[in-house]
A and B are shown apart, each in its own frame.
Chain A
Amino acid sequence: MENENQLLDINHLHTGFRIKDDFYDAVDDVSISLEKNEILAIVGESGCGKSTLATTIMGLHDPNKTKVAGEVIYQDLNLVDLNEELYNKIRGNDIGMIFQDPLSALNPLMRIQDQIAESLIFHTKLSKEKRYERVLELLEQVGIPNPPRVAKQYPHELSGGMRQRVMIAIALSCKPPIIIADEPTTALDVTIQAQILDLLKELQEENGTGIILITHDLGVVAEMADRVAVMYAGQVVEEAEVGELFNNPKHPYTRSLLNSIPQMDSENDELHVIDGVVPSLVKLPRKGCRFAARIPWIAAEEHEENPVMHEVAPNHFVRCTCYKNFHFEEGGE
């Protein structure tokens, strides 16, 4: 690999789901990379393919119903080509995952200590005593009070925030260099969200972990990310360093999203609404700018026939040319 800080290098990744007799790409030609000690945020609205991207990296798709193509390069291996046995060695050990809904990701019938120990048994040769010590250490690390007691409890006995901490403890158990967190705080109260996000940030700072943080909350992105990729309809439409993205957004979709946030300090303004709806997988136009239908007042010539990413500033990429003369409808922003 050219860059020794690079942890993951994703190139032209496609993930298609079988619907009736055809495959439709939910992740459509995505290329992004993750470095050590970096938080890469992936944002976009429901259905744009964020979770599909995460589960593709984790190799969690049923090969009979999904078609994956392209590259997910990790340590000179293309994960897309791995068989299940090799993937099991990577999952948990090299890439940890935190799911949106901890209750459904945890086994309701298993004590917390056994769930955390599972991946230690699989990936390490620790003795039983050492494993237990590690379980307590992990629970402590994720800020769970009284680890020996919680270790013996079942998921339903814990609050939502505690469960999410347990999920994080599991993801951390083998100290993976990469963590993928899919909406880790969406189901939580803001105060608990703040604690969990601080915890992820600490882990990144202490261990140099690379984190892919999936969220639709732009506030969370602004507080956490180093770099941001904005997805729309299966594609990355803009990618930039976090300050650049918020201060100098280019793609019409990014600009529209930022305009629809209820701002803390301008309460009486009309919020921006994006016309139309995100098309379903089957109806998605696969040619031309996918956002064109949502900004019909922009002339067709403004769009590229086959939109590609353009570097508009160092490390700031935007898809399609429509950003150049983009303006909001009636009277502007």
Chain B
Amino acid sequence: MSFLEIEDLKVHYPIRGGFFNTVVDHVYALDGINMSIERGKTYGLVGESGSGKSTTGKAIMGLEKITDGRIIYEGKDVSKQIRGKNSTYNRDVQMIFQDATSSLNPKKRVRDIIAEPIRNFERLTEGEEKKRILELLDIVGMPEDAMYKYPHEFSGGQKQRLGVARAVACRPKLIVADEPVSALDLSVQAQVLNFMKDIQEEYGLSYLFISHDLGVVKHMCDHISIMYRGRLVESGTREDIYKDPQHIYTKRLIAAIPEIDTENREVHKANRRRVEEEYRQNEKQYYDENGKVYDLKSLTDTHKVALKNIEVGGN
């Protein structure tokens, strides 16, 4: 059962201009998406730069004003009162940022950084708080004395782990992770990804995992949504998306991933060219007359695709 429902969520940014600096147009950064999030699952959100991934994450976090649509949390509409200090939603939904360095206050010690959500949402004595922080440091594999250090004393991967420690401090139900490993080297990335999976098991957490790296997404996610121009073009299980992509945009993204298979690179290249050609020729029929992505339609229980007529997609 899902505990969080995103219904037809929209975020339109006004563009101001003209003599009176009035609103002359809008950027439809997020233009009607639906998602339902279940316990203990990881949901991938992928798409090219500017497609609206971060806007989605921020809207869910209440960091961006919602133009339209609803967020239903455990049966209650929370869209209007997300940022309230005492709201359980605010405690239960946390975020990990792409850039660990700028998301940790350089002037604060690790102890105070991690304690921030605890102090916001829970009433713990100093001893209890310290105990919790030591637990958290242990979970993220950092030594006790890290507590008294400052962020600049840690490597990129370690900082990202501190970000995770802060995010899980109040035992949230959902963590929105916006490109959590994009800035990290391969081996550090591996460390953070392993670790995100470990704490998921430990706490039964759900993730909304935002990334443009389809390899990482495939490794991490149970369910994947592909985003384009503020809308979802396709969503389904990992198998649906990678083994049976239906939308030309999804096919194109998958074909573009470099593969580690040196013997067959000519084959990949030919395949990529073929998909690219198909994209160029048939692009129009995949979007409506205004270039807008169609509404998602169900192909199977899990697999949804935004096509005008569902038959178009078959190969």
A binding-site residues for B, Cβ under 8 Å: 45-46, 160, 189-194, 197-198, 216-220, 222-223, 242-243, 246-247, 256-258, 260-264, 267, 270-274, 277
Contact = CB atoms under 8 A, between A and B. Distances in A.
B124 interface: no
A93 B191 CA distance: 44
Nearest to A294: B187
A189 to B, nearest CB: 4
B315 to A, nearest CB: 20
Given A190-B253, A194-B256, A260 B187 contact: yes
A311 B87 CA distance: 64
Contacts of A243: 262-263
Contacts of B216: 262
B1 interface: no
A311 to B, nearest CB: 21
Interface string B240-268: 00100000000011011111111101001
B272 A264 contact: no
Interface centre among B49, B242, B253, B259 (most CB of A within 10 A): B49
A189 B48 contact: yes
B111 interface: no
Q: Is the interface of A mostly helix, strand, loop or mixed?
A: helix
B39 interface: no
Contacts of B256: 190-191, 193-194
Contacts, number: 103
A45 B261 contact: no
A274 B253 CA distance: 30
B193 A262 contact: yes
Contact of B258 (A46, A217, A242): A217
Nearest to B195: A273
B185 interface: yes
Contact of B185 (A46, A194, A222): A46
Interface string B261-294: 1110100110010000000000000000000000
27 contacts: A46-B156, A46-B185, A189-B212, A190-B48, A190-B258, A191-B252, A198-B269, A198-B272, A216-B186, A219-B257, A219-B260, A222-B261, A223-B268, A246-B260, A257-B186, A258-B260, A260-B186, A260-B187, A260-B189, A262-B190, A262-B216, A262-B218, A264-B242, A267-B218, A271-B191, A272-B190, A277-B155
Nearest to B198: A270
Contacts of A45: 185-187
B215 A264 contact: yes
B142 interface: no
A272 to B, nearest CB: 6
B257 A242 contact: no
B194 A242 contact: no
A246 B265 CA distance: 13
B258 A219 contact: yes
The 8 A-B pairs with the shortest beta carbon distances in the complex, nearest first, are A219-B258, A262-B219, A271-B190, A260-B190, A274-B187, A189-B48, A45-B185, A194-B256
Given A45-B185, A261-B186, A190 B219 contact: no
Contact of B193 (A223, A271, A274): A271
Contacts of A217: 258
B207 to A, nearest CB: 14
Given A190-B212, A194-B258, A219-B259, 17 more contacts: A45-B187, A189-B48, A190-B256, A191-B48, A194-B255, A219-B258, A222-B262, A257-B186, A257-B187, A258-B260, A260-B189, A262-B193, A264-B259, A267-B238, A270-B194, A273-B194, A274-B187
B199 interface: no
Nearest to A222: B260
B242 to A, nearest CB: 8
Contacts of B262: 222, 242-243, 246-247
Nearest to B265: A223
B187 A219 contact: no
Contacts of B220: 262, 267
Contacts of A192: 48
B218 A189 contact: no
Contacts of B156: 46
A323 B290 CA distance: 59
A264 B48 CA distance: 19
A220 B48 CA distance: 18
A54 B215 CA distance: 28
Interface string B103-121: 0000000000000000000
Contact of B215 (A193, A194, A262, A270): A262
Nearest to A266: B219
B35 interface: no
Contact of A194 (B157, B238, B272): B272
B78 interface: no
B214 interface: yes
A108 to B, nearest CB: 20
Contacts of A256: 187
Given A223-B259, A272-B187, A190 B194 contact: no
A15 to B, nearest CB: 21
